[in-house]
Chain A
Amino acid sequence: MEELSWTGSFASTLIPAIMIAFAIFLIGIILQLVMGFFASEVKLQSNTDGTLKSRGGLQGQLEKINTQLFMLIVLIGAAIIVVSWFMPYGKAGILGEIIKRFMPVWIALIVTFAVSIFFKRKLGLYGKLFDSTIGMIGFALVMFWVFTSIFVGFFDLIATHDPLQQISGIKNKTPGFLVPDGQEANFFPHYLLGGDNLARDIFSRVVHGSVIVMLIAPLATVFAFMVGITLGLPAGYYGGKLDTILSFLANLILAFPVILLFYLLVTPEIVATGLPNYMGAFLFIFPLIFCGVLINSRYKTQGKKNILYLSIVLVPLALIYLMVISDNASPLVIWPSKLDFITIPSGILVVFVSVVFVNSPTVFRIVRGLALDIKTRDYVAAAQTRGEGTWYIMLWEILPNARGPLIVDFCLRIGYTTILLGTLGFFGLGLPPESPDWGSTINEGRKLLLIYAHPALPPAMALLSLVLGLNLLADGLREESLKD
């Protein structure tokens, strides 16, 4: 066994090929950009049989070549993935081995895409996403990390080592470093992306970090939306005093510099006072209120059904709520500890609560604006004339019609939450310092950045790719939903 090089035996064949193709592709794109400034506007012209004429001239040619080049790049990339799978260990270099480690993710991605594209006409907005290239790229990036977190979190597949395991002698070593002898038989023989300053495997830490992000970011965004919707709809619909007070409070939180707020809230001393638990108790009640009102406003004329549905939804939710907020280690104990099956570590709870707290005022403002706009529509007037209750109008007339912008904002907001989580980690707040989340890993890496740059780069790129994926996905969704 020897150290791995970056590209292994691809170094002389496929890697140069894909590099050259990519360089030409980039030049082509830039050429197109420059020519676009001077060229006259494109007018689509049709043939006599109704099909569109292909664009002639230099620009049309360039466009064609670039499309083909892009296909070529994708093909070579696929070839690298397939070929490296059949190579013996160590032949394919670091890149090849990383690709191999992600094999379950590739399979899951291919299956998802194949199924979705096959049925895309039957899948509504989700299916339409597969009409836009940008949306597809974004979706692929997001699903890559979703699948990674699933396979790492549930099946323990992708990571090569334990994220906390230290092996002496690999401190700050460069990617592809050989683990010294004397380990157990099945031990993975290399540190694929090198070791950090505590001699832990960076690759394993990055893939384990995705689990933490995927656990917190989407859920925190859902909670922020519940809070924002439950408060924003009445504020926009009723207006008046309620609106003034709620808007003032929202602006108050928004005027706080986020980092100052984090530094004040996310500290061990604040956790000791139990403040996060009380804030959690306040913020986590909103999903209950939301679901309760949602069902009650719809079925309140059908007594039996109403009680049935309410109890199906609210009883489990209330139990989870009580178990989550009640914590024996904190001052807030309202549920017998023997029945308390869910205990969130205080570090995660405070991070979660503060992220929800920072996000919900923005959601509130968006929902309020949408409600202000939609409440003047005719169908709302029709519902008012029918004598529907105000909550019915808000939740079953206004909310469904505001779904487009809300779905787009939801994607963007998960990305923003991911950035916030990274910020918390970057300043070493909340999560324990050895936690493999991307922010903490960047924080660890940045301290020696000028001497050893390799530990900080992989988590930074991972975070960038996930947030980029979410932004592209939101862009694709916005484009497709505007086409309706």
Chain B
Amino acid sequence: MGLFILRRLGVMVLTAICLTFIVFWLTNLYPKLEVLAKTQGNFRMSDEAVISYLGNRGYTQALPVKYGQWLGVVPGYIIEGSDGEIRSKCERNSPPTDETPTFCGIIQGNWGFSTVAKEDVADVLPTRLGNTGKLMFWVLMVMVPGALIIGVLAGMREGSRTDRSLSTVSIIATATPEYVSGVILIALFATPLFGMQYFKGTATSAMDNITFNNFFLPVMTIAIYGMGYIARMTRASMTEIMTAQYVRTARLKGVSFANIVIKHALRNALIAPFTVIMLQVPWLLNGVVIVETLFNYKGFGWELVRAASNNDIEMLLGVSVISVIVVLMTQLISDIGYVFLNPRIRIS
């Protein structure tokens, strides 16, 4: 087990390095840097001015070197610019002093500087993550119990009318991406169009103070899409368990149906959905981006959109580091949890 986790961790680190390198490469392509220079400097820069602007700030170094500096395994640049100023990476483009460290990458805890927010990435991200964490929490609180109940009810009698109706409901839920359900929910419940204006159409006020009124729609929008999938997986696992030998034995012994479902089947039927729920978390990340944009809720996804549309390189890298960690951690937890919950599986 220890070796298994170690190997998984090794693959995780490798994956994280590859992914951040791809993000680094894509954000550091020359046309993107040119746009960055023009938005940071001024829009009427000539081509030479762009080159010297980028050169002075270390953007024109070789890609692996730049990546190494960001990561913190290559010493940060100290460049004497064409305008005579000396800029060093570790001092945010001011001249180096005696205390300036040699390495200042993400390993040293230096996440860089957001060119759009004009703040440290490490200062911006925690508040954003906190906001998204609240959203995620409520989504999971709604989604997981709802999906499990639907799945178990549908799966306990395969082919019954209950099963068919609930399965159709979950198919409809999986067919409703967040931007569709969000638009429909807002139009239904937040505009006077249908006379049912019960909720707020934006979640901006929810950043300070979450109320049922301003948080219901965003939470439901994300929960609906994920719920369908988890419910279908729960149903599949439940129907499989209900045909198992030991359930049949319990039936033949005359155990009541309710007892069979609650005491015998349920515990085993919930192993598979656990994995699915964990693997669903990265999917929620997508939903979070859409919903936060739609409801103007300044969380992690909102920051991703802002950073990406302005080519805010270091913010974008910070965002991708965090999302990659989330994705890989949930995969690891689902693997370990699966082994832990299901004693029949042994990994040598």
Residue positions of A touching B, CB distance < 8 A: 29, 32-33, 36-37, 41-42, 134, 248, 251-252, 255-260, 263-265, 267, 269-270, 272-273, 275, 415, 419, 422-423, 426-427, 439, 442, 445-446, 449-451, 453-454, 456-457, 460-461, 463-464, 467-468, 470-472, 475
On whether the beta carbons of B15 and A270 are closer than 8 Å, the reply is: no
A-B contact pairs, 25 of them (CB 8 A): A29-B165, A36-B160, A248-B11, A251-B15, A255-B19, A256-B22, A257-B327, A259-B286, A259-B289, A269-B29, A269-B32, A270-B32, A272-B31, A426-B290, A427-B305, A449-B186, A449-B191, A454-B193, A456-B187, A460-B180, A464-B176, A467-B177, A468-B176, A471-B174, A472-B171
- Looking at B165, B183, B301, the one whose CB has the most chain A CB atoms below 10 A away is B183
Shortest B15–chain A CB gap in Å is: 6
With A422-B179, A427-B305, A471-B175 known to touch, is A257 a contact of B285 (CB < 8 Å)?
Answer: yes
- Looking at B22, B26, B293, B316, the one whose CB has the most chain A CB atoms below 10 A away is B26
Interface string of B178-203 (1 = CB under 8 A from A): 01100110110011010000000110
Chain B interface bracket (under 10, 10 to 19, 20 to 34, 35 or more): 35 or more
Q: Which partner residue on chain B sits nearest A59 by CB separation?
A: B161
Shortest B226–chain A CB gap in Å is: 13
With A450-B186, A450-B190 known to touch, is A258 a contact of B286 (CB < 8 Å)?
Answer: yes
- Choose one: B11, B167, B177, B316; the contact of A423 (CB below 8 Å): B177
Which residues from chain B contact A272 at a C-beta distance below 8 Å?
Answer: 31
Interface string of B1-42 (1 = CB under 8 A from A): 000000000010011001100110011011110110000000
Which residues from chain B contact A252 at a C-beta distance below 8 Å?
Answer: 15, 18-19
With A269-B31, A454-B193 known to touch, is A260 a contact of B171 (CB < 8 Å)?
Answer: no
User: In this assembly, does B320 line the interface, its C-beta being within 8 Å of a C-beta of chain A?
Assistant: yes
Shortest A350–chain B CB gap in Å is: 13
Report Cα–Cα, A445/B187, bound state, in Å.
Answer: 11
Interface string of B48-64 (1 = CB under 8 A from A): 00000000000000000
Report Cα–Cα, A263/B302, bound state, in Å.
Answer: 13
Q: Is the contact region of chain B dominated by helix, strand, or loop, or is it mixed?
A: helix
- Choose one: B31, B304, B309; the contact of A273 (CB below 8 Å): B31
- Choose one: B161, B165, B177, B202; the contact of A419 (CB below 8 Å): B177
On whether the beta carbons of B19 and A423 are closer than 8 Å, the reply is: no
Shortest B317–chain A CB gap in Å is: 11
On whether the beta carbons of B193 and A260 are closer than 8 Å, the reply is: no
Report Cα–Cα, A446/B180, bound state, in Å.
Answer: 10
Shortest A11–chain B CB gap in Å is: 18
Q: Which partner residue on chain B sits nearest A42 by CB separation?
A: B160
User: In this assembly, does B324 line the interface, its C-beta being within 8 Å of a C-beta of chain A?
Assistant: yes
The 3 closest A-B pairs by CB, nearest first: A263-B308, A269-B31, A453-B187
Report Cα–Cα, A119/B108, bound state, in Å.
Answer: 71
Shortest A131–chain B CB gap in Å is: 15
Q: Which partner residue on chain B sits nearest A269 by CB separation?
A: B31
Q: Which partner residue on chain B sits nearest A474 by CB separation?
A: B171
User: In this assembly, does B227 line the interface, its C-beta being within 8 Å of a C-beta of chain A?
Assistant: no
Shortest A85–chain B CB gap in Å is: 29
On whether the beta carbons of B175 and A467 are closer than 8 Å, the reply is: yes
Additional pairs, 19, CB under 8 Å, beyond known A259-B301, A460-B183: A42-B160, A134-B168, A251-B15, A255-B327, A256-B324, A257-B282, A257-B286, A258-B286, A260-B323, A270-B32, A415-B175, A419-B177, A442-B183, A446-B294, A449-B183, A450-B191, A450-B202, A451-B191, A467-B177
On whether the beta carbons of A269 and B180 are closer than 8 Å, the reply is: no
Report Cα–Cα, A437/B214, bound state, in Å.
Answer: 30
Shortest A469–chain B CB gap in Å is: 8
Shortest A190–chain B CB gap in Å is: 19
Report Cα–Cα, A33/B165, bound state, in Å.
Answer: 8
Q: Which partner residue on chain A sits nearest B187 by CB separation?
A: A453
Shortest B283–chain A CB gap in Å is: 9
- Choose one: B35, B319, B327; the contact of A269 (CB below 8 Å): B35
On whether the beta carbons of A460 and B184 are closer than 8 Å, the reply is: yes
Which residues from chain B contact A463 at a C-beta distance below 8 Å?
Answer: 177, 180
Interface string of B309-348 (1 = CB under 8 A from A): 1010000100110011001100100000000000000000
On whether the beta carbons of A255 and B15 are closer than 8 Å, the reply is: yes
Report Cα–Cα, A457/B290, bound state, in Å.
Answer: 17
User: In this assembly, does B157 line the interface, its C-beta being within 8 Å of a C-beta of chain A?
Assistant: yes
Q: Which partner residue on chain A sits nearest B18 by CB separation?
A: A252
Which residues from chain B contact A260 at a C-beta distance below 8 Å?
Answer: 23, 304, 308, 316, 319-320, 323
On whether the beta carbons of A270 and B179 are closer than 8 Å, the reply is: no
Q: Which partner residue on chain B sits nearest A464 by CB separation?
A: B180
On whether the beta carbons of B327 and A457 are closer than 8 Å, the reply is: no
